[in-house]
Amino acid sequence: MIRPWYQLTMLAIESQTVIALRLMKLSSGGTEAVDEVRRMLSEKVSAGASAATTILTGGGVDKAIKDTRRHVRRNAKRLMRRR
């Protein structure tokens, strides 16, 4: 029972980091900002489809959240590296 709440809390915290890093990149403007917007939009659609597929095929909400957290962490690392 506690595990999904922990995963959701961590996802919320990690997502805030990615949001802050993306806002910094977007505020700088230029082609990198445009590329980031495109990447962000395609990732949102892909992540939603992936989470839905995981849940609908019996993977469960916990697995869907873990997978989403993995993507969020990758984005954080990528955005921190390119600053």
pLDDT in tens, 41-58: 999 999 999 999 999 999
- The answer to whether residue 76 sits within a structural domain is yes
Cα 42 to Cα 57: distance, rounded to the nearest angstrom: 22
Range of the domain at 62: 47-83
The secondary structure element, H or E, covering residue 45 is: helix 30-56
Structure tokens that stand for 83 in this block: 């600053």
- The answer to whether residue 64 sits within a structural domain is yes
Within 13 Å and on the Cβ side, how many CA atoms surround 26?
11
- The answer to whether residue 16 sits within a structural domain is no
Cα 74 to Cα 6: distance, rounded to the nearest angstrom: 19
Provide the domain count of the chain. 1
pLDDT tens, N- to C-terminus, the chain (83 residues): 567 789 999 999 999 999 999 999 999 999 999 999 999 999 999 999 999 999 999 998 899 999 999 999 999 999 998 54
Task: Give the global pTM.
Answer: 0.83
Within 13 Å and on the Cβ side, how many CA atoms surround 36?
21
- The answer to whether residue 35 sits within a structural domain is no
Specify the pLDDT at position 82. 56
- The answer to whether residue 63 sits within a structural domain is yes
- The answer to whether residue 81 sits within a structural domain is yes
